[in-house]
């Protein structure tokens, strides 16, 4: 795939005889996912992502793609793998004269509270416009990242969780090792929907596509860290539900008797 002067390798389309060496960036996003992003951001042409944080960057292909889309003032990527930037990625950054704008942090887990918080404070001065989580896809670390980073988002900022629906994809092969460790992200998306229902001042809105879910930060002041999602989800006690159910049941019975013809 070509984007201006950049060459991206699409691993899902590779064959045994097709190899680009190191003169490219791996790009692990299917066309249907990119099309969904085009639909979402196409309706938000005025959205500015000056401060962009990515979780899970593999070899940097997604960073180059999103940098070209948004041209942020600061773009940081975090990945748990212990490696260094590829020569091709370094040339990409240099070609944009973006050495001070594009930074990568390797060997950082997405749920490392101290490390992730330090990076946001240092690189972004504690303020984010857009977070894209394409990291582990495991429930616990993904939830932890959200709780670390969501308070840093400005009101109106977006938090994206990619591939939340992997547990429902019949045509995507997943390794037994992954399945043995993973808990589906559908649970987290359900919790986030409940948070929207509880108080739209915290999460104002959620858009759910097959490939990703987008949360829009509301205007609420979330106070000092730590942020706990459980504190922002209210579930009516079941005892109260049963009481309400009994009231409606008795009302229905009374209405039924009143409607019966008088002998």
DSSP 103-117: EEEES--TT-HHHHH
Burial of residue 189 (number of CB atoms within 10 Å: 0-12, 13-18, 19+) = middle
**Regarding beta strands 153-162 and 203-208, do their DSSP bridges make them parallel or antiparallel, or are they unpaired?**
unpaired
Coil, helix or strand at residue 157:
strand
> What span, in angstroms and rounded, lies between the C-alpha atoms of 131 and 150?
9
Retrieve residue 243's tokens: 């009481």
Tell me the CA end-to-end span of the chain in Å, nearest whole number.
Answer: 81
Cα atoms found within 13 Å of the Cα of residue 263, Cβ hemisphere only = 1
Is-contact 18 99, C-beta < 8 A? no
Quote the pTM value.
0.86
Is-contact 199 165, C-beta < 8 A? no
CA 6 to chain centre: 25
Is-contact 104 76, C-beta < 8 A? yes
Q: Which domains are seen in the chain, by residue range?
A: 2-236 (3.40.50.150)
Burial of residue 224 (number of CB atoms within 10 Å: 0-12, 13-18, 19+) = exposed
pLDDT tens digit at each of 263 positions of the chain: 888 999 998 876 656 666 677 899 989 898 899 999 999 999 998 999 999 999 999 989 999 999 999 999 999 999 999 999 999 999 999 999 999 999 999 999 999 999 999 999 999 999 999 999 999 999 999 999 999 999 999 999 999 999 999 989 887 777 776 666 778 899 999 999 999 999 999 999 999 999 999 999 999 998 766 899 999 999 988 775 566 566 666 666 666 566 666 55
């Amino acid at each position: 795939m070509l984007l201006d002067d950049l060459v991206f390798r699409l691993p899902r389309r590779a064959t045994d005889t097709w190899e680009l060496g190191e003169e490219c960036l791996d790009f692990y996003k299917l066309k249907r996912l990119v099309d969904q992003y085009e639909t979402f951001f196409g309706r938000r042409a005025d959205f500015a992502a000056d401060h962009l944080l990515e979780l899970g960057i593999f070899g940097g292909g997604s960073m180059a793609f999103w940098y070209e889309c948004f041209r942020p003032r600061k773009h940081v990527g975090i990945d748990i793998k212990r490696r260094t930037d590829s020569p091709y990625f370094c040339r990409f950054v240099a070609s944009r004269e973006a050495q001070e704008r594009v930074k990568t942090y390797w060997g950082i887990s997405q749920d490392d509270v101290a490390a992730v918080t330090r990076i946001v404070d240092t690189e972004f001065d504690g303020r984010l416009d857009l977070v894209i989580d394409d990291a582990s896809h495991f429930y616990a670390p993904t939830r932890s990242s959200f709780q670390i980073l969501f308070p840093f988002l400005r009101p109106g900022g977006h938090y994206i969780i990619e591939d939340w629906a992997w547990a429902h994809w019949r045509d995507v092969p997943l390794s037994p090792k992954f399945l043995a460790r993973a808990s589906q992200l559908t649970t987290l998306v359900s919790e986030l929907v409940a948070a929207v229902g509880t108080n739209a001042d915290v999460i104002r809105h959620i858009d759910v596509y097959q490939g990703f879910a987008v949360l829009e930060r509301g205007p609420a002041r979330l106070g000092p860290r730590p942020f706990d999602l459980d504190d922002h989800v209210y579930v009516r006690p079941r005892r109260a539900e049963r009481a309400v159910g009994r009231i409606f049941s008795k009302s229905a019975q009374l209405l039924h008797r009143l409607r019966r013809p008088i002998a």
